[in-house]
Amino acid sequence: MKFHQLSTFVAVVDHGSVTAAADALSVSQPAVSQTIRSLERDLGVAVFDRIGRNVRLNAAGEALLPGARQALRDLQIARDAVASVSALRSGRLDLVSLPTLGVSPVAELIGEFTGVIPTSASGSSSRNRRPGSDRWSPAGRPRSGSPS
């Protein structure tokens, strides 16, 4: 089963006929019919009852419809997420700096970045931090007077 088949199936359901779906999808009516037949072959069952030139959703088609709509929504969400990252509307920035630069100007730059890209993820960590880090210097050595 392919997304193209599902989108064609949903178009036939939404538009009420193969011809109207073909018009909406800007493809030929035989192309829509062939795609629906291919979907039915993949599923091993008909999804429409054919009455002359008309089609009517059958029980298998009714069972498929909610999942088909959800799959198409999920695909659109995935496409939107990729477009958002590629257009720099969201994403993640990993920034590494010395602990002494953590306050300024790095904090100001992070603030500007999140102002421009509010859906970005940011965070900080220190490779030199260890449990009981109040006893450790930025270089990872024990502070004077601290037990080691």
List, for residues 111-141, the tens digit of each pLDDT value.
777 776 666 555 555 454 444 444 444 444 4
CA dihedral over 35, 40, 42, 43, signed as positive or negative: positive
Of 58, 83, 108, the residue at which a domain comes to its end is 83
Residues 66 and 79 in one domain: yes
Same domain flag for 105 and 119: yes
Domain-located, residue 146: no
* Domain enclosing residue 49, as ranges: 3-83
CATH of the domain at 16: 1.10.10.10
Instruction: Tell how far CA 109 is from the center of its chain.
Output: 28
So what's the pLDDT on residue 107? Answer: 73
Summarised one tens digit per residue, pLDDT across range 18-33 is: 999 999 999 999 999 9
pTM as predicted: 0.60
User: Three-state SS for 70?
Assistant: helix
